[in-house]
Amino acid sequence: SPSRCSVIIIGAGVSGISTAKVLAENGVEDITILEASDRIGGRIRKEGFGGFSVELGAGWIAGVGGKESNPVWELADKSGLRTCFSDYSNARYNIYDKSGKIFPSGIAADSYKKAVESAIQKLRNDEANPCGGDLSKGTEPPSMPKTPMELAIDFVLHDFEMAEVEPISTYLDFGEREFLVADERGYEFLLYKMAADFLFTSEGKILDSRLKLNKVVRELQHSRNGVTVKTEDGSVYEASYVISSVSIGVLKSQLISFNPPLPKWKTDAIEKCDVMVYTKIFLKFPYKFWPCGPGKEFFLYAHERRGYYTFWQHMENAYPGSNILVVTLTNGESKRVEGQPDGDTLKEAMGVLRDMFGPNIPDATDILVPRWWNNRFQCGSYSNYPIISNDDVVQNIKAPVGRIFFTGEHTSVRFNGYVHGGYLAGIDTGKALLEEMEKEKKEMERKSDNQ
């Protein structure tokens, strides 16, 4: 029969590693970490591209310089991770139209201000009237973005961040600054450092047999006595408790079946949380043809189709001389390019760049298109709770079901969607499980005393 350990952790992303670390540091060392892919890190992932290390997943440490210190910023500081400051606020002054003209800054700033006001108005309307319906009580319907410039601004405001519209806890608590990770060792270096605190490593490699890679969990059988975990390759593991750190997209996908099934309050909550798809496409060029210098890191392309290769960034600040551009797509556009050959995506991107910079720019020599949506161990980029939702949804997504506990960025009430959200959620779930184990131990002692 399979050997039994105290806790099985499903997934070795930031939340899985941080939860395992909390357990190990508190004396629960007979743990098993089952990770579906062949590496740790999950949505923190670097890849070599055009001679540099680029981040396909999380790229920024968001929320720095505020009254409280962002724990991920502290980890980065301790590890000497190389980062550089990112200033998005100039993007609105670098909006190109299809003929390559930059919109005058006054017009762009004005349009931006209007878009923020209208988004705030819409939020108020929705709060006053959460089920939609008629807006009779003196509220004005906000104007819809129509022109390519308005659409570009709308995309930045809504598909990136709403910080100017709605207070975001990350910026409130940790500060408004964001730093891009620009380190050859990758953002994931932080995870290796964390893992090395409690797993056996040698020469930078994790050799601890408690971490099992290429183990795709497919079934959880749970009862009052414990949990049996079955993986795709036919292995069976038993534990007193399981912590699942798989993404909200994976929970929705039903890659893992639960036996007995999850209760309705749980599946309803999982249903209510949206999955955001966010795709950074990297392009390598023989030389640079875009403006650099202060205020030029980000630029926008205004097209009549919302989100069509709108948001651009050059990598010269991170890696001078890299000649790499990044364009970010989201949701529908992300899914569309994931489904087509990269050559087609390259042609589209070059068409857009020639609109902005003229016909004589060189072709990209390489392209990298991450596929977070079609990766069955991710099924999306991060959780996105409806703006007008109550904390019950997150609480229900986080709440344990019998001996199965849940963690991951999507279980973080304040910081979902961020690396620090995953990190803090892992600590939180680890502590909750330790308390539960303590309770169970006392209960057992009480029972044996009574016998």
> Shortest approach of ligand FAD to residue 195 CB, angstroms?
13
Binding-site member from 52, 60, 112, 241 for ligand FAD (CB under 6 A):
60
Binding-site member from 20, 22, 28, 34 for ligand FAD (CB under 6 A):
34
The tokens for 256 are: 């893992």
Binding-site member from 192, 278, 301, 319 for ligand FAD (CB under 6 A):
278
Name residue 440's beta-bridge partners: none
Residue 43 as a binder of ligand FAD (CB under 6 A): the answer is yes
How many residues in the shown chain lie near ligand FAD by CB under 6 A? 41
Within 8 A by CB and 6+ apart from 349, the residues are 281, 283, 309, 327, 364, 367
> Nearer Cβ to ligand FAD, position 229 or 356?
229
Please answer whether residues 394 and 169 qualify as being in contact, where contact means their C-beta atoms are separated by less than 8 angstroms. Answer: no
Please answer whether residues 365 and 283 qualify as being in contact, where contact means their C-beta atoms are separated by less than 8 angstroms. Answer: no
217 is in an annotated binding site: yes
> Nearer Cβ to ligand FAD, position 303 or 420?
420
Strand bridging mode 311-314 / 324-330:
antiparallel
Residue 408 as a binder of ligand FAD (CB under 6 A): the answer is yes
> Shortest approach of ligand FAD to residue 117 CB, angstroms?
27
15 is in an annotated binding site: yes
x/- binding map, residues 279-308, to ligand FAD, per CB under 6 A?
Answer: -x----------------------------
182 is in an annotated binding site: no
> Shortest approach of ligand FAD to residue 19 CB, angstroms?
9
Residue 58 as a binder of ligand FAD (CB under 6 A): the answer is yes
Residue 36 as a binder of ligand FAD (CB under 6 A): the answer is yes
> Shortest approach of ligand FAD to residue 329 CB, angstroms?
10
Residue 311 as a binder of ligand FAD (CB under 6 A): the answer is no
Residue 13 as a binder of ligand FAD (CB under 6 A): the answer is yes
The pairs formed by 356-365 with CB atoms below 8 angstroms and a separation of 24 or more are 356/96, 356/100, 356/299, 356/301, 357/100, 357/289, 357/290, 358/100, 361/285, 361/289, 362/285, 362/286, 362/287, 362/289, 364/283, 364/284, 364/285, 364/325, 365/50, 365/284, 365/285, 365/286
Taking CA atoms, 231 is separated from 10, 43, 227, 240, in Å, by: 11, 21, 13, 17
Please answer whether residues 226 and 239 qualify as being in contact, where contact means their C-beta atoms are separated by less than 8 angstroms. Answer: yes
> Nearer Cβ to ligand FAD, position 58 or 397?
58
Residues numbered 210 to 229 that lie near ligand FAD (CB under 6 A) are: 216-217
219 is in an annotated binding site: no
List interacting residues with ligand FAD (CB under 6 A): 10-16, 34-37, 42-44, 57-60, 62, 216-217, 245-247, 250, 255-256, 278, 280, 372, 377-378, 381-382, 408-409, 417-419, 421-422
Question: Known binding site for FAD: residues?
Answer: 15, 35-36, 217
